[in-house]
Amino acid sequence: MKRSVLYGIIAALVLVVIVLAALVLSPDQGDDQAAVSTEQASEGLADDASAVIAARGLTPDNVTAALKTYMPSGQYDPYMMFSSGGHSGQVHVIGIPSMRLLRTIGVFTPEPWQGYGFGDLGQAEMFAEGDVAGSPVTWGDTHHPALSETNASYDGEWLFVNDKAQSRIAVIDLRDFETKQIVKNPIAMNDHGGAFVTPNTEWVIEGGQYAAPSVGSFADISEYNDKWRGMITFWKFDREKGRIIPEESFAMELPPYWQDLCDSGKLVSEGWIFCNSFNTERATGGVGAVEGAVPFESGASQNDMDYLHVIDLKKLEQVAATNTNQLNGLNYVTMETAVAENLLFFIPEPKSPHGIDIAPNGDYMVVSGKLDPHVTIFSFAKIQQAIADKKWSPDDYGIPVLDFDSVLEAQIELGLGPLHTQFDNQGYAYTSLYLDSMVARWTLGGGDYAHASEGWTLIDKESIHYNVGHIAAAEGDTATPAGNFLVSLNKWSVDRFANVGPLLPQNFQLIDIAGEGESLQLLYDMPIGFGEPHYAQIMKTERLKSIQVYPEVGWDPQKWAVNPDAPKAGEERVERDGNNVTVYMTAIRSHFTPEHVSIKKGDNVTWHITNLERAVDAVHGFAVPAYNVNLSIEPGESATFEFVADKDGVFSYYCTEFCSALHLEMTGYLMIAPE
């Protein structure tokens, strides 16, 4: 084909996609320019666009993908993805479909730009609540962010995330995108099946991972079966207070299988909780000649079936309410009680499974068996029937194991290494295939789903770069999936981006899932050079109700109220009471008041700063060298830090945000005289 003919075809295609894009990218947000009409698009644009396409050597698919992801300057993404940051300990907020990084939220790890964890007293107290066995720990391994839900749909208010490394749960406030609470689980050292929420966020679920004796206790590994335990914890969330209430929370003792991911039932299955497990072999590891045993990787992969844990949370809540047994101060329901009260059932599930995901109507439970090429679908109605019929036999701990065949709905062979499943608004499900490096689309073959008449059928497989872990579809784990987009969260990224050294970025790949049938299209690669995200949730941006300026001057974001000690304009001062010095400082463009703070070595210093600004954007930072103080004080916020003046000298404090033309002048001297 002649080049000119080819360009003509491409130009025609461009026109088609421009029209499509004008429909897809609704111009209703943040922009007062009217969208161009089809005729306007065709005039003038075609020649320029085809020249660019030719110069860059783009294919028609490339051009379509570019137009579907491009957000013109000033337009907002219709979706926001909240991604875990793995062992960066943070959460990252990314616009969809543009894949623009909007915000990093400091969670378990101090984050300097947000002045998070560098002196602020409220934050220091919060971090201290998350101390592990009495030791401060300044990192975490975030795996599963969970947006708060109302009636099994996201409500845009709160975000929870777990720390796998230390068994902690953090509460993030989506009014200001700041972490407000870190809770350490007193009975477990690590977790994995968290955070997940119940459909109205009454409970934040934290499932265990590697069985162990409870925190602070020791039992030899030879006593694994009797003294080591798994766990699941239900943290009570108080929406009014915006906090988890440990005193109203409880845990349930589980056999020392390795519990994995969990999910909450919803709609018909509301009140039931489902968690995978692996290592039901109870392998205790030990490699080769040195330790004389079978390593975990093979020891924990012997059984063809592991156990899906099915928990009757409604009943468990009632039992926990009158339960007097405690472990390390946490209300602890034993396995004995669980068996006696029929709180816990197992279902055999193939094979060393990873993800458990509940279909949008709550009627089907989808298990991905890492070492099995199928997804296995259980029916909630059949589970209820099997429980009513007592179709079970006990495991070694007396827990009833339901009969596999009587609860099975379907199995679909998808490919190698199925891990996680998401759903859309068209009656399709999507499963990541780690070993195949693909995302499979299949039909929900029962219930009221749109493709039920086609049965449980594999429809399409889209190749992704490789090593996909989780996938996240827009609102794809709620009762109201949005469809449109899915992100494949791939591990590492060999050959995909310019070399930045031996530690490779991860790779998020955006996939268009809006069409039907075999229409999946890969749109965009986003390198993630700041952690290894595991799961992410994608929410409609319009659900957010976040603020831009704190409600009143002197605001304490931690307490969500005005701090009575917050310095006020005109009342700035330095007070001394013996060795105790209190600084009352304000910040407004472009000065701190006072600009001189003169104290003595050995003083105990409490320092309050209020940002008096009411304008959106007018953030000031505050940094003091040598004392490891670094704050971000957003409009209206008041912050406090404390230190002992153990070094004399002159320390220039300054504003770290480029806040005005005279930002460099926004400084002052802390003068600490020798004793």
Measured on CA atoms in the order 33, 37, 43, 47, is the torsion positive or negative?
positive
Q: Is 60 exposed, middle or buried (0-12, 13-18, 19+ CB in 10 A)?
A: middle
Contacts of residue 264, defined as CB under 8 A and 6 or more positions apart, other chains included, come to: 196, 197, 198, 199, 205, 270, 272, 273, 274, 358
Instruction: Name which of ligand CUA, ligand CUK, none residue 472 binds, using a CB cut-off of 5 to 8 Å depending on partner kind.
Output: none
Minimum gap (Å) between residue 464 Cβ and ligand CUK: 13
* Per-residue binder mask for ligand CUK (CB under 6 A), 448-477, x = binder: ---------------------xx-------
- Measure the CA–CA gap between 620 and 613, rounded to whole angstroms: 9
Residue 433 within binding range of ligand CUK, rule CB under 6 A: no
Instruction: Name which of ligand CUK, ligand CUA, none residue 419 binds, using a CB cut-off of 5 to 8 Å depending on partner kind.
Output: ligand CUK
Judged by CB under 6 A, which of 203, 237, 430, 535 binds ligand CUK?
535
Minimum gap (Å) between residue 569 Cβ and ligand CUA: 16
- Measure the CA–CA gap between 40 and 17, rounded to whole angstroms: 14
Closest CB to ligand CUA among residues 273, 587: 587
Measured on CA atoms in the order 532, 534, 537, 538, is the torsion positive or negative?
positive
Judged by CB under 6 A, which of 168, 175, 180, 192 binds ligand CUK?
192
Q: Taking CB positions, which residue lies at the least distance from ligand CUK?
A: 469
Binding segment (CB under 6 A) for ligand CUA, from list 248-256, 431-439, 510-518, 650-658: 650-658
Residue 585 within binding range of ligand CUK, rule CB under 6 A: no
- Measure the CA–CA gap between 639 and 120, rounded to whole angstroms: 6
Instruction: Name which of ligand CUK, ligand CUA, none residue 657 binds, using a CB cut-off of 5 to 8 Å depending on partner kind.
Output: ligand CUA
Closest CB to ligand CUK among residues 356, 624: 356
Closest CB to ligand CUA among residues 535, 653: 653
Structure-token pair, residue 536:
């992410």
Judged by CB under 6 A, which of 657, 668, 670, 672 binds ligand CUA?
657
- Measure the CA–CA gap between 153 and 150, rounded to whole angstroms: 5
Residue 157 within binding range of ligand CUA, rule CB under 6 A: no
Instruction: Name which of ligand CUA, ligand CUK, none residue 663 binds, using a CB cut-off of 5 to 8 Å depending on partner kind.
Output: ligand CUA
Residue 620 within binding range of ligand CUK, rule CB under 6 A: no
- DSSP H helical segments within 25-140, as ranges? 38-42, 45-56, 60-69, 121-129
Looking at residues 239 to 278 of the shown chain, list those that interact with ligand CUK (rule: CB under 6 A).
261
Compute, in degrees rounded to 10, the torsion defined by CA atoms 103, 107, 108, 109: 40
CA distances from 68 to 65, 285, 403, 422, 439 (A): 5, 49, 47, 21, 20
Extended strands (E) in 117-202:
146-150, 153-163, 168-173, 178-184, 191-197
Residue 620 within binding range of ligand CUA, rule CB under 6 A: yes
Instruction: Name which of ligand CUK, ligand CUA, none residue 354 binds, using a CB cut-off of 5 to 8 Å depending on partner kind.
Output: ligand CUK
Instruction: Name which of ligand CUK, ligand CUA, none residue 469 binds, using a CB cut-off of 5 to 8 Å depending on partner kind.
Output: ligand CUK
Instruction: Name which of ligand CUA, ligand CUK, none residue 70 binds, using a CB cut-off of 5 to 8 Å depending on partner kind.
Output: none
Looking at residues 34 to 93 of the shown chain, list those that interact with ligand CUK (rule: CB under 6 A).
none
Look up residue 339 and give its amino acid. V
**Beta pairing class for 243-244 and 353-358:** unpaired
Looking at residues 410 to 429 of the shown chain, list those that interact with ligand CUA (rule: CB under 6 A).
none
- Measure the CA–CA gap between 201 and 478, rounded to whole angstroms: 13
Minimum gap (Å) between residue 156 Cβ and ligand CUK: 23
Structure-token pair, residue 80:
């926001």
Q: Give the total of residues touching ligand CUA (CB under 6 A).
A: 7
Minimum gap (Å) between residue 533 Cβ and ligand CUK: 8
Closest CB to ligand CUA among residues 203, 653: 653
Instruction: Name which of ligand CUA, ligand CUK, none residue 261 binds, using a CB cut-off of 5 to 8 Å depending on partner kind.
Output: ligand CUK
Closest CB to ligand CUA among residues 107, 631: 631
Instruction: Name which of ligand CUA, ligand CUK, none residue 168 binds, using a CB cut-off of 5 to 8 Å depending on partner kind.
Output: none
Instruction: Name which of ligand CUK, ligand CUA, none residue 620 binds, using a CB cut-off of 5 to 8 Å depending on partner kind.
Output: ligand CUA
Closest CB to ligand CUK among residues 142, 425: 142
Contacts of residue 313, defined as CB under 8 A and 6 or more positions apart, other chains included, come to: 198, 203, 234, 271, 272, 273
Q: Give the total of residues touching ligand CUK (CB under 6 A).
A: 11
Contact 653, 670 (CB under 8 A): yes
Question: 3-state secondary structure string, 375-437?
Answer: EEEEEHHHHHHHHHCCCEEECCCCCEEECHHHHEEEEEECCCCEEEEEECCCCEEEEEECCCC
Closest CB to ligand CUA among residues 195, 655: 655
Residue 510 within binding range of ligand CUA, rule CB under 6 A: no
Judged by CB under 6 A, which of 354, 441, 608, 620 binds ligand CUK?
354
Residue 624 within binding range of ligand CUA, rule CB under 6 A: no
Closest CB to ligand CUK among residues 117, 194: 194
Binding segment (CB under 6 A) for ligand CUA, from list 10-18, 449-457, 536-544, 657-665: 657-665
Minimum gap (Å) between residue 192 Cβ and ligand CUK: 6
Q: Omega into 488 within 30° of 0, i.e. cis? A: no
Site of tokens 């480029």: 658
Contact 191, 208 (CB under 8 A): yes
Closest CB to ligand CUA among residues 327, 566: 566
Residue 655 within binding range of ligand CUA, rule CB under 6 A: yes
- Measure the CA–CA gap between 68 and 71, rounded to whole angstroms: 9
Contacts of residue 71, defined as CB under 8 A and 6 or more positions apart, other chains included, come to: 25, 77, 95, 97, 98, 100
- Measure the CA–CA gap between 25 and 232, rounded to whole angstroms: 43
**Beta pairing class for 243-244 and 230-238:** antiparallel
- Measure the CA–CA gap between 441 and 429, rounded to whole angstroms: 6
**Beta pairing class for 638-644 and 400-402:** unpaired
Judged by CB under 6 A, which of 659, 668, 670, 672 binds ligand CUA?
659
What does the binding site for ligand CUA look like in residue numbers (CB under 6 A)?
620, 655, 657-659, 663, 666
What does the binding site for ligand CUK look like in residue numbers (CB under 6 A)?
143-144, 192, 261, 354, 419-420, 469-470, 534-535
